[in-house]
């Protein structure tokens, strides 16, 4: 039996290293790599079914052409030659008539691979040669990343492995036992050494239930809470003045901002008892090191960028950024200094082109002109299932004059609108390189088995399409191994000693950084070299130079609806898996007993959740797991299995404060019993 190294490509911070057992050309087993210091031999409840998913009955194995109306999902099987001929012809006509910018390569987070997925914008070289529009992947983490860069100069923070050294851990707007559970092992290590864990989340999640303490602020008020905590710490004289003097910029101005957020005001904003705010601040003041784990959910609202920008100041006030086991971890992506420009090759563009926002797909398809979008290439994405304003996205995809190609594994809600569907390989069937955004390891993925049917990797699909269009740029035909070498063979100190050969042999490699890892031991990567409480960069784009609080902005009434990650689906991946669908059950919405009583809703009742944008049906769960004024559901359900609509029918295409991020949790709805 052969053992093959692999890497999970899904949208999760853990980027697990796995081992596939292969016998007679068939993958007969998969387990987490026990040698990987983060994976430690364990996969999640979702990825444990990955091999089953590769063999699913509804997997797309051959190219398909639409024969019904858009949205019906009716197709006929065609050959690869027919598919490539039609795509090449249509793209050529569109480019000739409207220009290359009428083509939108729409990348999703279904794969975070550098060779086959979003991180390397698979196929981008091909689209650059055509002069296609640039896709801005705004759906996930961009607001928080932008906010952190104003304070720290990077979105990269502490190493999650160093949570084991922490004495106080704040799980701020994150539920690792559902989304990225491997960090919990380091939290457990810290708890065995006496660490105290506080969950800050409007919902009592699996992780919050396991914490020592849970605070439930109103959604979108995190920045106000952070400012209130700093107010108490400074009032106590517990701030680290030496660290502030040596390593920060703009303290006096920021200190005046902190003074604007005393605990009584913060209590009013957040809905938390004043005494609990003060008690947590006092705990932070006397506990070193303190670590904050904050992930993408807390920045999906109107003030999301400001929330992370402000939160990153807290370890600056306490001096925790200088301590092993102290600081904040949002993402580790900023620490991977790979040769992404050499992989993507923006220099191949014949001229500057426009950028189109991922989270404004409906607007892009219905309203954008000069030129209009005439071709949409969907890669590792299911926007009908994952994008805001589901009904608007459907209207855009239903345009008969829009030529839509979807590379997919399964007949999703989005493939139903495709003109051509191309069968894509899954992770056990192609070569890829993965970098976790929740650890400091590069992970190698070797193909373990041959692709089933006529499935092709994304990289090979674009090589064949380039040949069919007679494109002469040599780099369009680089092999997957060539691409991997171009990505990794790069003269940055963090990559010293890491090569394709070492990765292929070992399965993974830690970046060449110190252990424990102090990301700012040599200064902050800001213009000043300091943590910037006051940011002149922010002023240049019209933002407040100081961190602060930006309130939620949904103009609607009713309950604030949070649509967090599902325990059984990853975004919409696995949303068609029969066993995971059974475990998940029908979509539910959790409502506080007071809010349920006011609406005549009983536990287990069928309900309609709606606002001006749309509606969906669900089952009510009446529970104090949510605070009054808040309702909670999970994303990932497929609309076609659940009455034709999901929670995203109610989400707006409105932007957050920084980077055009999504506002999934800045969403007011009303709920009625059916």
Confidence of residue 122 (pLDDT cuts 50, 70, 90): very high
Strand 75-77 to strand 420-423: parallel, antiparallel, or no bridges (unpaired)? unpaired
Q: What pLDDT is stored for residue 189 in this prediction?
A: 98
Confidence of residue 488 (pLDDT cuts 50, 70, 90): very high
Taking alpha carbons only, the member of 439, 536, 515 closest to residue 156 is 439
Rounded mean pLDDT, 523-552:
97
Sequence length of the chain is: 674
pLDDT in tens, 3-45: 999 999 999 999 999 999 999 999 999 999 999 999 999 999 9
Rounded mean pLDDT, 555-573:
95
Rounded mean pLDDT, 356-375:
97
Residue with tokens 């780099």: 475
CB 138 within 8 A of CB 358: yes
CB 376 within 8 A of CB 365: yes
Rounded mean pLDDT, 199-215:
98
Q: Is the pLDDT of residue 1 over 90?
A: no
What tokens were used for 525?
């990567």
CB 651 within 8 A of CB 388: yes
**Cα–Cα dist 10/573, whole Å:** 8
Q: Is the pLDDT of residue 436 over 90?
A: no
Rounded mean pLDDT, 117-124:
98
**Cα–Cα dist 199/280, whole Å:** 11
Burial level of 63, CB count in 10 A (0-12/13-18/19+)? buried
Confidence of residue 180 (pLDDT cuts 50, 70, 90): very high
Taking each helix axis as running N to C, give the angle between helix 263-270 and helix 222-235, from 0 to 180 degrees, rounded to the nearest 10: 160
CB 210 within 8 A of CB 204: no
Q: Is the pLDDT of residue 367 over 90?
A: yes
Rounded to the nearest integer, the mean pLDDT of the chain is 97
Phi, psi of 487, deg, nearest 5:
-70, -45
For residue 93, the number of C-alpha atoms closer than 13 Å in the C-beta half-sphere is 11
What tokens were used for 27?
């993958």
Residues with Cβ within 8 Å of 103's Cβ and at least 6 positions away in sequence, in order, are 91, 94, 95, 127, 130, 132, 133, 373, 374, 375, 377
What tokens were used for 347?
């220099």
What tokens were used for 613?
């944008």
Q: Give the rounded percent of residues in the chain with a pLDDT score beyond 70.
A: 100
SS3 state of residue 79: coil
Q: What pLDDT is stored for residue 556 in this prediction?
A: 80
pLDDT in tens, 641-663: 999 999 999 999 999 999 999 99
Largest CA-CA distance found in the chain, in angstroms, rounded: 73
CB 320 within 8 A of CB 290: yes
pLDDT in tens, 444-469: 999 999 999 999 999 999 999 999 99
Confidence of residue 73 (pLDDT cuts 50, 70, 90): very high
Q: What pLDDT is stored for residue 147 in this prediction?
A: 98
């Amino acid at each position: 039996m052969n053992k093959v190294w692999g890497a999970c490509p899904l949208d999760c911070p853990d980027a697990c290293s796995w081992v596939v057992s292969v016998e007679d050309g068939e993958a007969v087993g998969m387990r987490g790599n026990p040698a990987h210091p983060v994976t430690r031999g364990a996969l999640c409840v979702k990825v444990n079914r990955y091999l089953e998913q590769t063999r699913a009955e509804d997997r797309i194995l051959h190219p398909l052409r639409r024969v019904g109306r858009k949205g019906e999902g009716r197709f006929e099987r065609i050959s690869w030659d027919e598919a490539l001929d039609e795509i090449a012809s249509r793209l050529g006509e569109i480019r000739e008539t409207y220009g290359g910018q009428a083509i939108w390569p729409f990348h999703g987070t279904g794969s975070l691979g550098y060779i086959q997925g979003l991180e390397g914008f698979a196929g981008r070289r091909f689209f650059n040669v055509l002069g296609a529009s640039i896709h801005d992947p705004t759906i996930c983490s961009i607001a928080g990343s932008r906010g952190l860069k104003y304070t720290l100069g990077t979105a990269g923070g502490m190493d999650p492995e160093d949570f084991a050294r922490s004495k106080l851990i704040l799980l701020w707007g994150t539920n690792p036992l559902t989304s990225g559970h491997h960090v919990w092992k380091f939290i457990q290590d810290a708890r065995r050494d006496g660490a105290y864990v506080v969950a800050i989340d409007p919902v009592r999640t699996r992780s919050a239930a396991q914490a020592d303490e849970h605070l439930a602020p109103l959604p979108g008020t995190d920045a106000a809470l952070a400012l209130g905590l700093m107010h108490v710490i400074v009032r106590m004289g517990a701030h680290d003045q030496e660290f502030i003097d040596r390593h920060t910029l703009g303290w006096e101005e920021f200190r005046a901002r902190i003074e604007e957020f005393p605990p009584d005001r913060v209590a009013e904003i957040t809905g938390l008892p004043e005494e609990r705010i003060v008690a947590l601040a006092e705990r932070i003041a006397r506990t070193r090191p303190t670590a904050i784990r904050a992930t993408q959910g807390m920045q999906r609202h109107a003030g999301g960028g400001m929330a992370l920008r402000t939160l990153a100041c807290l370890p600056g006030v306490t001096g925790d950024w200088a301590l092993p086991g102290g600081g904040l971890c949002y993402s580790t992506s900023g620490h991977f200094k790979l040769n992404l420009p050499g992989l993507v090759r923006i220099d191949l563009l014949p001229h500057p082109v426009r950028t189109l926002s991922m989270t404004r797909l409906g607007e892009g398809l219905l309203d954008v002109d000069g030129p209009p979008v005439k071709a949409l290439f969907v890669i590792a994405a299911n926007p009908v299932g994952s994008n805001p304003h589901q009904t608007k996205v459907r209207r855009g995809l239903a345009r008969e004059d829009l030529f839509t190609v979807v590379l997919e594994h399964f007949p999703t809600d989005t493939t139903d609108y495709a003109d051509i569907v191309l069968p894509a390989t899954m992770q056990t069937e192609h070569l890829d390189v993965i970098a976790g955004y929740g650890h400091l390891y590069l992970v190698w993925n070797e193909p373990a088995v041959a692709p089933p049917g006529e499935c092709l990797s994304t990289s090979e699909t674009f090589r064949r399409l380039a040949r069919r269009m007679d494109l002469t740029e040599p780099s369009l035909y680089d092999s997957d191994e060539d691409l991997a070498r171009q990505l990794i063979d790069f003269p940055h100190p963090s990559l010293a000693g890491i090569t394709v050969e070492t990765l292929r042999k070992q399965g993974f490699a830690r970046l060449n950084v110190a252990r424990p890892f102090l990301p700012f031991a040599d200064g902050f990567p800001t213009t000043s070299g300091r943590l910037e409480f006051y940011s002149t960069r922010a002023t240049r784009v019209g933002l407040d130079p100081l961190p602060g609080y930006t309130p939620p902005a949904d103009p609607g009434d009713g309950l604030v609806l949070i649509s967090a990650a599902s325990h059984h689906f990853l975004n919409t991946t696995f949303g068609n898996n029969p066993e995971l669908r059974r475990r998940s059950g029908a979509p539910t919405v959790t409502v506080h007993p007071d809010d349920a009583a006011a609406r005549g809703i009983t536990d287990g009742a069928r309900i309609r959740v709606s606002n001006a944008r749309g509606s969906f049906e669900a089952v009510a769960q009446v529970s104090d797991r949510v605070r009054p004024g808040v309702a909670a559901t999970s994303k990932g359900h497929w609309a076609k299995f659940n009455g034709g609509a999901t929670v995203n029918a109610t989400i707006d295409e409105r932007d957050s404060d920084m980077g055009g991020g999504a506002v999934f949790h800045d969403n007011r709805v009303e709920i009625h019993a059916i």
